Structure 1
Amino acid sequence: MSEASNIKVSICCVTYNHRDYIRQCLEGFLMQKTNFAFEILIHDDASTDGTTAIVREYAAAYPGLIRPLIQTENQYSSRTRAIVTTFLLPISRGEYIALCEGDDYWIDPLKLQKQVDVLDKDPGVSLCMHNSIVVFPDGKRKVKKIYRESQQALMLDIIRRKRIYWPTASMVYRKALMDDYPDFCLRSHVGDSPLILYLATRGKVYYLQEDMSVYRKGTPGSHGKRLRANDTSGQQKLIETELEMLDRFNELTDSRYNYCFVMRKLLIQSSVLSRRNGFAIKVYPGFREDFKQVSFTDKSLLLIKIYIVPLLRGRFCKR
């Protein structure tokens, strides 16, 4: 439903070469049952596989509800990675922003209503998220959940948990908070990580223990796939911008969560080192000093990731 003068939620969808998935994504938006008006904004990043035609088809079928922004030049590779913040937020009309990429989809028709109810009830909540079902390339499914029941998310978990535990398709947040979005967040190669951290510094993050979306891991056109198509310099740039982002958030929070930020940096570096496959990935300058700060248990975890995991992976892959 959509009434231009009284839109409560702007659903922002970024898509690129998602021909096989975009219909299911859009149907997940259209099935939402709410007592408020919402709009659907779609940014097609110059798709070449027929995705654009599908987006135009849906926009024609639902005029006023679906508003497409069709690019003729790929913005991800030429200008910016913060697509939603740069292109969709300025034209959005909702009080709240809901995210879902074109290869993911929603499975609960009351998802938006449930999350808006949380935000309306408590003005101190900046972001509402929920469980997600992860579908891997081999077809296997796994529910990624952090808590056994709905509750306020802990900052320690937000910092240290992998991105897969904080699915983009589960996010609904207050648009007004984005007026002060830091420039260093816009430089990050992964847009959802700094967004979650930023919103966590501006209010409470509430986590609903319900499976309401599906995240497809490793699909064509995804960030991971596009990054792996780059050379070593692209991998290095990703690491550098993410580490810079973590350092800046550490400063922004007056080092209250210093250990968690340090450990997150070490985990990122160790993860890349464990799967470098011959690439000459540089260790960031403060790696050794940060490594000295963490506990013996965490040191052991990092060393296992860097040295033992690759050996085991190589042994089993040869069989």
Structure 2
Amino acid sequence: MNRKADAEGSGAGAVHVGRRHFLTTGCAAVLLAAGQRSALAAQAYPAHSVNVIVPYAPGGQGDLFARVLSDPLGKLLKQTVIVENRPGATGMLGTRYIVREKPDGLNLLLGQTGEIAIIPLANKKAGYDPLKDLAPIALVGDSPLVMITSAKSPFKSVQELIALAAGKPKQVAYASSGTATPGHLAAAALALGTHCDMIHVPYKGAGQAMTDVISGQVGFFFSSASAAMGHIKSGSVKALAVASTRRMPALPDVPTIDETVLKGFSYSLWGGYFAPAATPAPIIGQLNRDINELLATLAIRTRFEADGAVVKANTPEQFTEFVRAEALKYRDLLKTTGITIG
């Protein structure tokens, strides 16, 4: 009986071990096949030209990033990279377009602060959630906003402007390129932090805002560095401060708001590449490596830094955390100020 039981036990054990071996081997085979498919997908990418959507009209910072990188990125990918401007609804139209595209890495978004970190929070009709509907690939550049005023303005410093605004409510007006844009929220944060009551004058775009700032129609404007730099150099406007905790290398003599009137003040216009959610990790990884390789080249880095952008290597995970932190910052500001769109 014992020998029979032992024999039966041995047989059952052998069958059990055999099943474990089969399952282990089967799982390994499935994982290997999945890995091979991912590798093949990455090797085959891109099968044809890559389209990069800029959700604004030509000429802005995001457009600059996309166009400077398009040809060299195409050479690394061995395919043509086409930049397409799809402006409208403060960046929402172009962003929605990418969200609905196939997650194959052939349609990308050059997304910026507004449509990624602000609009989905300020507008209930945005129609997308950046952290759910998009896959961050790489941050290209992060450029602090520059507080500018007319060359004719009596203000010689941000301290003088804030002193007047604090003492005379609603005497100082500021321009923005639209409600809930980065420039508007930076000015609202400055007013909130310095306990000033200032008038917001929204325009339909940065061009119109810049025109009235130059003429002295409004007191100041938080402009992108790329849009402000030419006017600063020509002398039509003067830079009062930089919205950062560190001075901008392109404007070393211009103080920061952090060092003058409000500690920790930091608002910027940044831009980076995004793909539709569910884009395969090997494709995201390849694009991230290629973009970082280009950002490390002297010519491209120098070009972007000349417009005030901070350029540094980053992973998709780091860029995702950056986007999440920006969204949290603006969520709290929007809640405190009550600023909304629509």
TM class, shorter-length = under 0.3
Relative to its length, the structure with more helix (as a share) is 2
Higher relative contact order (CA 8 A, sep 6+): 2
- The alignment's TM-score, normalised by the length of structure 1, stands at 0.27
Higher CA-based Rg: 2
- The alignment's TM-score, normalised by the length of structure 2, stands at 0.26
